Structure 1
């Protein structure tokens, strides 16, 4: 400030008293040079990261949100991934991009960084978790700061600076898929101390400078230019006095100047026509400012440091309002309080007195409060002039503390919807095959699917891989961010008839997130396939879903053993997987999974400490024929036993009464066995859903014809169906 320059010059010329005079003269010149309708450095909107040569890096104090400057970067790295290379499956190549770059944040050391915003969305949460793939390294700018390993490997250890004294961050292999494959605009929450101290601001720019001024309302402050600009910005809301009359430059708050001193009586001049001829003083009140001080612009800490504005409470004064731009972070209530104080001070400063005295008191320095005989209140020394008849002091009315603290209307930040900051959460995975669908183009292709979810709504999805049983991982793509409705059963679903609506059974299911919801369905919706779910190795539909606790649901009204999953009716136990088969499940490439019994589906997300593995439920159900139904045994007059049955077909879930189901397999073949199907006492193969066994054949089987049952399985193109019990050949 010019005040500092003139006070130093005054001290050199005339000692301490001259220094005080020079300080006041400097303040007057400051007012002439810097007067404008906008006070303080212009507040920027939260710019994105820039890379402008020669740009001054700011100094930060407390907590601030800053853009930073891009100081190093490589070309984008392309990653390709090919899927679907199995037999009969078309290949699909996908491309993603990542970036390596460094961003300078501050020209003085900091303590760390908090959140990071990329294109307005959170890239790093308050807990330090990155919302996109990649690695972040933070360099705080200390004097012993080491080389960054990425920069050193790219530029060479001999050519790469350590940037000591400069706070910066390095992103390595940052995934750009969420940012249109470009480096996004970044802003950073910087922590550079718990409080904002004026002494720290001065120490970074001046030597031999002392201050006792406090800035308790501020939680952060940025200096992007000369220290004089920072002092001007602060002086607008925290009035400061500077004194260079001693060995060190002294900066203090105007309210901390000590106890008010009482001046002697005004000196009446001998010249009857001169200043204060009758009384030795002249009191005046200035005209109201044509542009009243009414606005404070700042960074609102309750709105993620977005620019905010507070206005003076009450009826607006005439004229275009003047605003103060304060590059600091604070809350709305303190901002409203500061502009209220500044407005009241500006109004009261219009009341001035010119006072003549012949006493030379070195203690009457800039900003000192004085009392005047015969005048109420306290007055502040603003300027003086040393003339032939004495010292003429220019005094301004000091606003009482009680008046300054008159509470204005409570400041409000306005409405703000901050970006959701949730932890990534661990991945939960269930893999399974689905039965053949009538819409499927290939009846011979398996239909493996995966359902992935998490307990956290901030789960960003996971990458899926196929382990065909060899330990190698083949990419299957990604799950997407939509969480599937899956959980764990807490009781065993009892056996039931697959041909009837199960009204008596109930199943308790716990979902990973209490916010997840299951809903019921009426009979018409059940007929359309609503609420189809996997429970262990059985496919069911449920009609009712009642909440019984946070994330816990009780399901009832079941259709059981659907789509050929009758084998799972009697094998239930607590702790089984539950998956709602809706649009959130993802199809997998069957060719990459292979057909080995040891095959697994693997998922890996950013919140997973280790890969999540699972085998396939309903393994082989897509290509396995359904067990025949409606068994009949007929004894013909000649003693021949005739067995008949009705076939079912994969994918033919709607069965018209007058039509037979289509033959999905290549040929119609049935295998009948007597006794254990794996080690049969006798077997037959037929090409139609019937067989006749003569009395001679039955007699040749002996006692086994009476004790051993006959079963039938349909032989499909790829597998045998489950067996249907037909009964013994002979009655006991």
Structure 2
């Protein structure tokens, strides 16, 4: 007998001895097919993670697949530190950040392109090819002429740096690890090796003298990690493959290339005692059904980011565990459903078997050939043949009639997946401002400067913040964080209004930076508790009602104006002012680094910004500036003297429920009363009580300045309040 049995496929490899038909399969085929003694084929498994192990097999990828890769080079983590101080003798804060340089091998054959990259299950690189973290990615496709990577060459030296030709790999340079707990994340890569491929591409890379032109159009991707015999064994589970080694080349075919079935001659009779069909020359039997016929196909689903999935064939449920086929290939759900339906139907037809003996030597009669038999209906396919003294014995199985494996039109469902969102980075939006003093937030002597930072897309991942004190030099302020502030632009201009009353007549239209952002209406109780606080330019307002107009446009009504000591800005609005809801997404800024120059700016730059975005510091000085006094009164005595009185307010004392003076925040209570322009007053008085008497002689002295106005400002620890007009001279 001269055969090689490929039992897992159900096919024999071989040919007749002698030169009449061809040569016996040689050791070179056996070694090329099976490799070493280990013959374990590829297995379906959950997605692996990037590792670095000596001796690890680097796979060959075909089509489109997702792979973990293997780290082949890395440096120590790069540490960066930033010192941020108050600038006024306060304690400094040092923050640390880490980045990494490393290379990951993806395939031991060239690939065409690199797709998405997942890091710890989240997208590090989207379909647009942009990294979602700071750093540089270089892709080497494994071409025979690819040069060494410049980063590896500079670190290791040109004489010690291989070019890794024939090996596809990627290099990450200075990859920011702040989003991965300052460690190299677990990575998986989507590789695009070929637009389409066949079985010849898979096994032809290893065996030169092979003809395996079997189309795999329905298979999106495949990864080979073992010998060609394992690859053939894998695909034979869903494709009826025949392998013929009778000629000079090894032939693997799904259907023999023939226009019509070959008619075999009458069977040959033998007189040997141990031969089958001694009087007829053939035997026919039907193989016993499998205890667990294939009913499940497990595969990698391309619609679920290559996660392991399964499809079931229709049919009656049998006792015991159903048979399953593991196909470690990337498929669509509809393709997988069709494959398991075909496999389940084919198994019943191929149970019909015939052993046939012939003495004719026909080069066309080889494994995979379709033949007809005298006196027996139907077409039959040669599964294997063996050479004996009494003739050539053929093993035949029933060929499937047309339409036998055509599955019904059945629906397929890949199942519900939770793919990592692939969102564009979006552009950064920025508004910096000081916050009014809040007794619960810290010291009354500390400036509270914050930046509201947001992005136009949900995929925005934060921005780097910088301070410009007015001289053009940039000082780092740290990172904004990934939480987006709810902000936008005012589409209408706010008119002047009384800050002491609820303004029910004014409507303010705004455009949020992202239409997905939402605002909410509240009731008057929550309004009185400080709800729905918003910055509109230099004024702080509250709104009662928020009505969506679609596409991120909102109409705000029921306004309380001049909140937080910003009543001076009620009548000073312009067009296109910034709108900020000061809830989440606020980044604290170092006031010392910002300085106090009127031309100071805050800058921000994210991944989606071609240039930095800038913002002045709105409400400059409001944290430390006392509130202007209120309720100015004038009493005229019998002798003509004027007595001015007023009521003081205090920073942070926003709730004045009992009419009693709020606790003083400044080091001392002191007021400055001036007459005339603030920058060049005609006269000035200081007092430590909220009142001042102006004698008649003084009034007469300035009577010719009829338009001159008496004004009072509170002298705080750090600044003067805005003025309260008391009365004109005349």
Does TM-score exceed 0.5, indicating one fold?
yes
Whether the 8 Å CA contact 1:16–1:246 is kept in 2: the answer is no
Mapped partners of 2:229, 2:361: distance in 1: 31
Mapped partners of 1:652, 1:270: distance in 2: 117
Question: How do residues 555-566 of structure 1 correspond to structure 2 at under 5 angstroms?
Answer: 555-566=556-567
Q: What is the match of residue 251 of structure 2?
A: 250
Mapped partners of 1:653, 1:4: distance in 2: 87
Mapped partners of 1:518, 1:16: distance in 2: 87
Q: What is the match of residue 15 of structure 1?
A: 19
Q: Check 1:151–1:339 CA distance in 2 against 1; reply closer, same or farther (3 A cut).
A: same
Mapped partners of 1:367, 1:230: distance in 2: 19
Q: What is the match of residue 119 of structure 2?
A: 118
**Other structure's SS at 2:489 match:** strand
1:523-565 residue CA offsets vs partner (Å, 9 max, x unmatched): 1101111111100110000000000121110001000011210
Q: What is the match of residue 511 of structure 2?
A: 510
Q: What is the match of residue 725 of structure 1?
A: 725
Whether the 8 Å CA contact 2:123–2:420 is kept in 1: the answer is yes
Whether the 8 Å CA contact 1:433–1:617 is kept in 2: the answer is yes
- Distance apart, 1:92 and its partner CA: 2.1
Mapped partners of 2:144, 2:420: distance in 1: 35
1:2-37 residue CA offsets vs partner (Å, 9 max, x unmatched): 4699999746x4236355x879xx99xx99x99x9x
Mapped partners of 2:466, 2:272: distance in 1: 101
Moved more, 651-660 or 525-534: 651-660
Q: What is the match of residue 484 of structure 2?
A: 483
- Distance apart, 1:274 and its partner CA: 7.0
Mapped partners of 2:84, 2:443: distance in 1: 19
Mapped partners of 1:427, 1:416: distance in 2: 31
Mapped partners of 1:478, 1:417: distance in 2: 29
Mapped partners of 1:4, 1:15: distance in 2: 23
Q: What is the match of residue 373 of structure 1?
A: 374
Mapped partners of 1:240, 1:306: distance in 2: 27
1:598-632 residue CA offsets vs partner (Å, 9 max, x unmatched): 22222222222222221100011111122221122
Mapped partners of 1:629, 1:55: distance in 2: 79
Moved more, 484-493 or 471-480: 471-480
Question: Does residue 403 of structure 2 align to residue 402 of structure 1?
Answer: yes
Q: What is the match of residue 698 of structure 1?
A: 699
- Distance apart, 1:442 and its partner CA: 2.2
Q: What is the match of residue 539 of structure 1?
A: 540
**Other structure's SS at 2:223 match:** strand
Question: How do residues 661-680 of structure 1 correspond to structure 2 at under 5 angstroms?
Answer: 661-680=662-681
Question: How do residues 226-625 of structure 1 correspond to structure 2 at under 5 angstroms?
Answer: 226-254=227-255, 256-267=257-268, 275-276=276-277, 279-387=280-388, 389-407=390-408, 409-625=410-626
**Other structure's SS at 2:283 match:** strand
Mapped partners of 2:273, 2:669: distance in 1: 133
Whether the 8 Å CA contact 2:702–2:729 is kept in 1: the answer is no
Mapped partners of 2:131, 2:647: distance in 1: 59
1:57-99 residue CA offsets vs partner (Å, 9 max, x unmatched): 1111100111111111111222222223522432222222222
- Distance apart, 1:390 and its partner CA: 4.2
Mapped partners of 1:429, 1:87: distance in 2: 26
Q: What is the match of residue 713 of structure 1?
A: 713
Question: How do residues 28-39 of structure 1 correspond to structure 2 at under 5 angstroms?
Answer: none
1:336-357 residue CA offsets vs partner (Å, 9 max, x unmatched): 2212222322222211122334
User: Which blocks of at least 5 consecutive residues in structure 1 are unaligned?
Assistant: none
**Other structure's SS at 1:415 match:** coil
Q: Check 1:500–1:263 CA distance in 2 against 1; reply closer, same or farther (3 A cut).
A: same
Q: Check 1:629–1:319 CA distance in 2 against 1; reply closer, same or farther (3 A cut).
A: closer
Q: Check 1:79–1:271 CA distance in 2 against 1; reply closer, same or farther (3 A cut).
A: closer
Mapped partners of 1:575, 1:514: distance in 2: 18
Whether the 8 Å CA contact 1:136–1:170 is kept in 2: the answer is yes
- Distance apart, 1:517 and its partner CA: 0.3
Whether the 8 Å CA contact 2:12–2:367 is kept in 1: the answer is no
Q: Check 1:284–1:712 CA distance in 2 against 1; reply closer, same or farther (3 A cut).
A: same
Q: Check 1:133–1:220 CA distance in 2 against 1; reply closer, same or farther (3 A cut).
A: same
Whether the 8 Å CA contact 1:7–1:244 is kept in 2: the answer is no
Q: Check 1:353–1:465 CA distance in 2 against 1; reply closer, same or farther (3 A cut).
A: same
Q: What is the match of residue 79 of structure 1?
A: 80
Q: What is the match of residue 142 of structure 1?
A: 143
Q: Check 1:99–1:22 CA distance in 2 against 1; reply closer, same or farther (3 A cut).
A: closer
Mapped partners of 1:729, 1:131: distance in 2: 66
Moved more, 648-657 or 569-578: 648-657
- Distance apart, 1:229 and its partner CA: 1.3
Q: Check 1:85–1:503 CA distance in 2 against 1; reply closer, same or farther (3 A cut).
A: closer
Whether the 8 Å CA contact 1:144–1:164 is kept in 2: the answer is yes
Q: Check 1:629–1:271 CA distance in 2 against 1; reply closer, same or farther (3 A cut).
A: closer
Mapped partners of 2:12, 2:295: distance in 1: 31
Q: Check 1:270–1:474 CA distance in 2 against 1; reply closer, same or farther (3 A cut).
A: closer
Whether the 8 Å CA contact 1:280–1:356 is kept in 2: the answer is yes
**Other structure's SS at 1:505 match:** coil
Structure holding more helix per residue: 1
Whether the 8 Å CA contact 2:42–2:226 is kept in 1: the answer is no
Q: What is the match of residue 684 of structure 1?
A: 685
Q: What is the match of residue 89 of structure 1?
A: 90
- So what's the TM-score if we normalise by structure 1? 0.92
Whether the 8 Å CA contact 1:40–1:325 is kept in 2: the answer is no
**Other structure's SS at 2:546 match:** strand
Whether the 8 Å CA contact 2:13–2:243 is kept in 1: the answer is no
1:123-168 residue CA offsets vs partner (Å, 9 max, x unmatched): 2112112222221111101111011111001110111001011000
**Other structure's SS at 1:503 match:** coil
Q: Check 1:636–1:598 CA distance in 2 against 1; reply closer, same or farther (3 A cut).
A: same
Moved more, 684-693 or 57-66: 684-693
Q: What is the match of residue 646 of structure 1?
A: 647
- Distance apart, 1:375 and its partner CA: 2.7
- Distance apart, 1:594 and its partner CA: 1.6
Mapped partners of 1:712, 1:118: distance in 2: 62
Whether the 8 Å CA contact 1:489–1:575 is kept in 2: the answer is yes
When the two chains are superposed, the root-mean-square deviation of aligned CA atoms in Å is: 2.8
Q: Check 1:627–1:313 CA distance in 2 against 1; reply closer, same or farther (3 A cut).
A: same
**Other structure's SS at 2:719 match:** coil
- Distance apart, 1:249 and its partner CA: 3.0
1:171-221 residue CA offsets vs partner (Å, 9 max, x unmatched): 112222232322222111111011122222233111133333111110111
Mapped partners of 1:527, 1:255: distance in 2: 85
Q: Check 1:699–1:119 CA distance in 2 against 1; reply closer, same or farther (3 A cut).
A: closer
